[in-house]
């Protein structure tokens, strides 16, 4: 047997990663569902901003496709309105838009109609010549999830999964409705695209502050030694929204809080907080560690679900003098809906580092404010030498708390005790704050900017892999199964509050209380 040794590609000695921006190769981005909310609010503003900052090359084109009949110019006009309206933390520049708009094209079509894919192929051939996109194509499925499999199959049937350059596909969440459907979807995708060409997007992982968790943990020597069961009492992850379902009642009714947030975003955040250090900071190693962590999460037995998981649904309330509808009163929502608009779960990670440490995750709609953070509560000192000064009088000291704020005021704060001025040894908690925005004056890219550049550059580090998706479905599925067979006494929390009392009781059983973020 002879072995053919391929020559190693020459490492480019002229590259200067300290000064050069991450290079995006020439490519075309095809967005299915281009007239939808996600495209208008997130994708096009992100692409425009990347263009504004010259982070995407001139040899670049966007082809939007959806059922709405529109010309290229009408699509450009509509997207201009959206970009100028939804651009975050940056001004809109007419001149830059005019230049960007020359790269925007539109192909009307129905995902179930094979002709549409031929139209897209023709447009891709056109832009490959006119915009020199080198045959590289990134497909973005921003459609109804029920169309993913069909769209992928048609892309394969029309040979759009291969060409002169690379082909990649970004798939939005939800990735399946349960473990079985997620695996079926994976199988369908793998018939057309290889795993290395599939980019399952979880925009939480693209947030700068979520990425900063890795920098914070593995770039500093002082925290990692404390990052284990010896020092950490418990962890609370909160993702609260002050808004309701905002016209998405029909979709949300099918999803619910557990599926919509915990199965994907928050389980990935938990994996980022709790994973082991990768040996090398690259896509494979980082994702291996995330997947390993998710596989170590204890899968609940059905009889444990009522103890470790709480479902909630908001009811009507008056908030700030304004009447707020309950979930069941929202348009397109079943008046007897059993959908969870709030979910709180206690997870345990059965590995050497975290054994016995509860990870409390809660998410809900119509909470008092919009906030996402992770709080690591450390053990109290072994001996209480001091009493803490409070308005209600002295009480036991509160343990140290490290809060990683994801949004809205991105940053990190550490709560510790300090002596109150004056005579006597009374202590009170003070907070040492790091604010992301003030220390780095430059504008923070949005999650979609980061993730789009990564996909175009072929870096899947911040995208979820099939085994991660499987593992996260495995940990929530027993809860979903039990809840599907439970008749809840909904609504069980009024809009504008921090959730049902059962969630407080869940923590109280472990001797803990929810923070008020």
Partner 1 sequence: MSSAVISPAQPEQILKGLGKLWTSLGEEEKQHGKPTVLRACTMTLIVATDEPDGDFSSAQTISELMREHPSRGIVLAVSPDAEQALQARLYAQCWKPFGKAQQICCEQIEITCRPESWPNVGPILIGLTAADLPVVFWCRHKAAIRPFSTSDQKAGLEAVMSIATKTIVDTREEDPISAMRLLAHWKTLGRPFGDLEWTRLTPWREPIAHIFDSSCGNNPLSSFHTIEIAHTDDHPCASVLYAAGWLSAPYKANVSFVKTKGFGPGLHRIRLRSDSETIEFERTSSEGMTLRSTNGRERSYTYSEPTLTALMTEELSVIGPDPAFMAAFDRVQEMM
> Site size for partner 1, by CB under 8 A?
27
| 9 lies in the binding site for partner 1 (CB under 8 A) | yes
Q: Report d(CA 364, CA 30) in Å as an integer.
A: 33
Q: What are phi and psi of 299, to 5 degrees?
A: -85, 125
**Euclidean distance between the first and the last CA atom of the chain, given in angstroms as a whole number:** 65
- Per CB under 8 A, the segment of 88-96, 238-246, 397-405, 483-491 that binds partner 1 is 88-96
Rg of the Cα atoms in the chain: 25
| 395 lies in the binding site for partner 1 (CB under 8 A) | no
- The DSSP symbol for 428 reads E
> Which tokens go with 103?
């790269």
Determine which residue in the list 277, 302, 381, 437 makes contact with partner 1, applying CB under 8 A.
437
Determine which residue in the list 1, 20, 129, 356 makes contact with partner 1, applying CB under 8 A.
20
Q: What are phi and psi of 273, to 5 degrees?
A: -70, -35
- Per CB under 8 A, the segment of 9-17, 113-121, 176-184, 290-298 that binds partner 1 is 9-17
Binders of partner 1 in range 38-77 (CB under 8 A)? 58-59
Residues with a catalytic annotation lie at 265
Measured from the CB of residue 36, what is the shortest distance to partner 1 in angstroms? 25
Measured from the CB of residue 457, what is the shortest distance to partner 1 in angstroms? 10
The residue (of 312 and 517) whose beta carbon lies closer to partner 1 is: 517
Residues facing 410 on adjacent strands: none
- Looking only at the bridges linking them, the beta strands covering 342-348 and 27-32 are unpaired
Tell me which H or E stretch contains 137.
strand 137-141
- The DSSP-derived string for 393-415 is --EEPPPPEEEEEEESS-EEEEE
The residue (of 439 and 489) whose beta carbon lies closer to partner 1 is: 439
Query: What's the CA dihedral at 433, 439, 443, 446 to 10 degrees?
Result: -40
| 12 lies in the binding site for partner 1 (CB under 8 A) | yes
The residue (of 65 and 212) whose beta carbon lies closer to partner 1 is: 212
The residue (of 212 and 268) whose beta carbon lies closer to partner 1 is: 212
Measured from the CB of residue 300, what is the shortest distance to partner 1 in angstroms? 42
Query: Comparing C-alpha atoms, which of 425, 463, 399 is closest to residue 199?
Result: 463
The residue (of 59 and 363) whose beta carbon lies closer to partner 1 is: 59
Q: Report d(CA 36, CA 143) in Å as an integer.
A: 8
Measured from the CB of residue 212, what is the shortest distance to partner 1 in angstroms? 15
Determine which residue in the list 90, 317, 397, 414 makes contact with partner 1, applying CB under 8 A.
90
Q: What are phi and psi of 152, to 5 degrees?
A: -65, -45
Tell me the three state secondary structure of residue 383: coil
| 222 lies in the binding site for partner 1 (CB under 8 A) | no
The residue (of 88 and 188) whose beta carbon lies closer to partner 1 is: 88
Measured from the CB of residue 11, what is the shortest distance to partner 1 in angstroms? 8
- Per CB under 8 A, the segment of 67-75, 360-368, 434-442, 509-517 that binds partner 1 is 434-442
Q: Report d(CA 282, CA 260) in Å as an integer.
A: 28
- The DSSP symbol for 329 reads G
Using CB under 8 A, list all residues that contact partner 1: 9-10, 12-16, 18-21, 23, 25, 58-59, 88-91, 435, 437-443
């Amino acid at each position: 047997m002879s072995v053919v040794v391929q020559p190693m590609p020459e490492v480019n000695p002229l590259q200067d990663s300290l000064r050069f921006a991450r290079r995006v190769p020439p490519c075309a981005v095809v967005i299915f569902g281009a007239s939808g909310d996600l495209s208008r609010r997130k994708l096009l503003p992100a692409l425009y901003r990347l263009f504004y900052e010259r982070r995407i090359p001139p040899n670049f084109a966007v082809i939007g496709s959806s059922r709405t009949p529109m010309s290229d110019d009408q699509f450009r006009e509509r997207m201009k309105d959206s970009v100028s309206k939804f651009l975050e933390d940056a001004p809109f520049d007419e001149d830059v838009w005019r230049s960007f708009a020359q790269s925007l094209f539109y192909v009307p079509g129905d995902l179930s109609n094979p002709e549409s894919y031929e139209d897209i192929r023709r447009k891709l051939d056109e832009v490959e010549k006119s915009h020199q996109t080198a045959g590289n194509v990134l497909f973005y499925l921003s459609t109804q999830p029920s169309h993913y499999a069909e769209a992928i199959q048609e892309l394969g049937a029309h040979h759009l999964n291969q060409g002169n350059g690379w082909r990649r596909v970004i798939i939005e969440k939800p990735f399946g409705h349960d473990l079985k459907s997620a695996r079926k979807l994976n199988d369908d995708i793998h018939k057309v695209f290889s795993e290395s060409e599939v980019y399952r997007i979880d925009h939480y992982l693209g947030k700068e502050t979520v990425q900063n968790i890795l920098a914070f943990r593995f770039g500093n020597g002082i925290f990692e030694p404390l990052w284990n069961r010896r020092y950490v009492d418990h962890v609370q992850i909160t993702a609260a929204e002050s808004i309701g379902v905002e016209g998405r009642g029909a979709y949300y009714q099918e999803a619910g809080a557990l599926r919509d947030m915990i199965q994907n975003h928050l389980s990935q955040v938990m994996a980022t907080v709790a994973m082991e250090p990768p040996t090398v900071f690259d896509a494979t190693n980082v994702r291996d560690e995330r997947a390993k962590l998710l596989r170590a999460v204890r899968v609940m037995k059905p009889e444990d679900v009522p103890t470790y998981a709480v479902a909630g649904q908001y009811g009507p309330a008056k908030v700030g003098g304004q009447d707020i509808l309950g979930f069941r009163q929202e348009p397109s929502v079943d008046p007897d809906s059993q959908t969870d608009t709030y979910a709180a779960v206690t997870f345990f990670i059965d590995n050497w580092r975290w054994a016995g440490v509860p990870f409390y995750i809660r998410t809900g709609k119509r909470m008092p404010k919009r906030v996402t953070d992770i709080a690591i509560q450390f053990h109290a000192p072994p001996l209480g030498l001091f009493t803490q000064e409070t308005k209600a009088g002295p009480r036991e000291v509160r343990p140290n708390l490290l809060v990683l704020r994801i949004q809205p005021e991105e940053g990190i704060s550490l709560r510790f005790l300090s002596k109150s001025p004056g005579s006597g040894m009374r202590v009170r908690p003070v907070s040492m704050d790091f604010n992301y925005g003030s220390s780095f004056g430059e504008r923070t890219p949005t999650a979609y900017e980061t993730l789009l550049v990564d996909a175009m550059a072929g870096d899947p580090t911040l995208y979820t892999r099939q085994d991660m998706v499987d593992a996260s479905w495995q940990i929530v599925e027993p809860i979903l199964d039990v809840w599907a067979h439970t008749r809840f006494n909904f609504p069980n929390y009024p809009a504008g509050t921090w959730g049902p009392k059962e969630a407080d009781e869940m923590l109280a059983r472990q001797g803990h209380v929810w923070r008020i973020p």
